[in-house]
Structure formats: C-alpha cells, structure tokens
Amino acid sequence: MPKRSDTQRIREEAHRLGFEFVGIARAEFMEEEAKKLEDWLHRGYQGKMGYMENHFDKRTDPTKLVEGAKSVVSLTYNYYTEKSPEDPTAPKISKYAYGQDYHYVIKQKLRELLAFIRNEIGEVNGRCFVDSAPVLERDWARRSGVGWMGKNTLLIHPKRGSYFFLAELILDLELSYDQPIKDYCGTCTRCIDACPTEAISPQGYVLDGSKCISYLTIELREAIPESFKGQFENWAFGCDICQEVCPWNRFSTPHQEEAFEPHPELLKMTAREWREITEEVFRKVFKKSAVKRTKFKGLKRNLDFLGS
C-alpha cells in the first residue's frame, strides 16, 4: 500500500505543478540502450558534441547518479503553441524556444516536487534533471510508458504528440512501476521523407545528429558546412519539421504556461528585421530564452548562412 499511495501522491502533485504525464520505471542498468548508444557514438552521429561520449556509465545506470536509486520518474511538460511569425518569410525558430528557457522554468517545478516528496513521504535521496545531465531521457520516458520512441527519435504520446519537454526525478524510493506502450508509427514515413538534410535513417529510429538542423544551428560552434547550403528551409534556431509533419501532433493542444509565451516583439519581426538584428535587439528579445545558447554571434552565423 505505501508504494501505491506514495506513487499516487507524487502523480497528483506533479499534475498540480503543471506536468501533464507521469511515468515511473525501475532504476536499473540499461543494457539494450547502452549497446545502441555505443553503436551511435561509434558511427560518429554525435558530430562535435563531445560531451555525449562522456560519463557513459552514468548515462546508462541511474545508480551512478543517485546512490541506491530505485525509481526514475519521467514527466512531460507541454510547450506547444499555435502562434507563429506574422511574416511568413521571416527566419524560424523552434517553438520550444519562443518563451523563457525551459531548463530554469521546469527545474524549479522539479525542485518543488522533490521538496513535496521529502515533506510528505520522508527522507528521500533524489536528484532533478532537465536535459542538463547524462540521462537518457527519452529512453526512460519510453520505459515508463509516457510514450513510444518515434521514427524521428522523438518521444510521442498517443494523446498529445511530441511537443513537450521531458524531465526526470531519480529517487532512492521504491514506487509502483509502469510498463512501456506500443509503437504506433506503423508504416508512416512522413518525418523521414520531410527531413531536408536526410538526418533520419531510411528505416527510422536512428538520427545522425551531425546532419540535424537543430544540431547545426545550436550545438555546432564552428562554420556550418557548405554542403548544407539551401537545405535549412529558413530555420535559424532549431527545427520542427519532423514534428510538423507527424500525424500524432494533430492531438497537440496549446500550453498554459505563461513563462513559455513569446516575447511581444519576437513574432512581429520581419525578415528584414531578422537580417538586420543588432546585439541590443538580440539581448532584449531573447533575454530569458534558450536562443541565448547560441549567443549573438551564433545566431548571426545562422542568419548569414540562410541568406547567403
């Protein structure tokens, strides 16, 4: 009974904090995922993301992150919006970056959830993660039944699609565990067909990160290879193409998170204003945004690559 009641209380508090779906998996070594990660790295699909090669043991074993870990709680937080740039010719940025940086917004909610667990359940050792540590987020979410791994390698939920952030709590608390759900991609290949840089393998389920527009516009610090010229379809920061064409995203609903609302000037910017953006405007419009990650110099590089 304690396991069940503890699990229920955690779910209820997570929903109160704004998390939509909650799944829980047993904390254990991820043997199958470790083999896939090793193969992915061996093929060089990480590109210049050298950090992906670090802490391999921690990525595949949560007990290396939290001593005595028993449960991995996976949570989703919706960021979908129907809003888009007023100028259809303006450079595009991923929807997830419209508002404030999700790392800070969601991390604070996770801390509140962990504090709740300690206050209501007792002395629990645990850590919060939001895309900022060696955690295989999508694999844990898949294991806990929050969704299935789509052919575009994003996690897809049958009632909400894929426009959501993933977050985790790794706890030394035993809870009731969920089971993975079925893969519903079927014979669909829309994401594979639509990817302009052919980053998704022909069979799906494997992404060559070094070809992904999100990697090239965010993670890559050096010059974008000329071989990608003309293939970005006007994406200046990130890319949502494989989500836009996914049939499951017809179930996406607008988020209710005020922090994720775009800066008032962002969607009003014309193509010309983007081309002529100054560092002052960059600082103002993207003050709290994840776009700051590229810095002004990186965004200008991307814009120049689109325009040249």
Q: Where in the sequence numbering do the catalytic residues fall?
A: 131
Residue 90, token pair as written in the block: 């303006």
Assess contact for 235 and 147: CB atoms under 8 A. Answer: no
Query: What is the C-alpha to C-alpha distance for residues 95 and 82, in angstroms, rounded to an integer?
Result: 9
Contact call for residues 160 and 251 (beta carbons, < 8 A) = yes
The DSSP line for 237-284 is: E---HHHHT-GGGGG------GGGSPPTTGGG--HHHHHT--HHHHHH
Residue pair 302/238 in contact by the 8 Å Cβ criterion: no
77, 252, 268 from 82: Cα distances, Å: 16, 9, 15
Tokens representing residue 182 in the block: 């079925």
CA 216/CA 223 separation, integer angstroms: 9
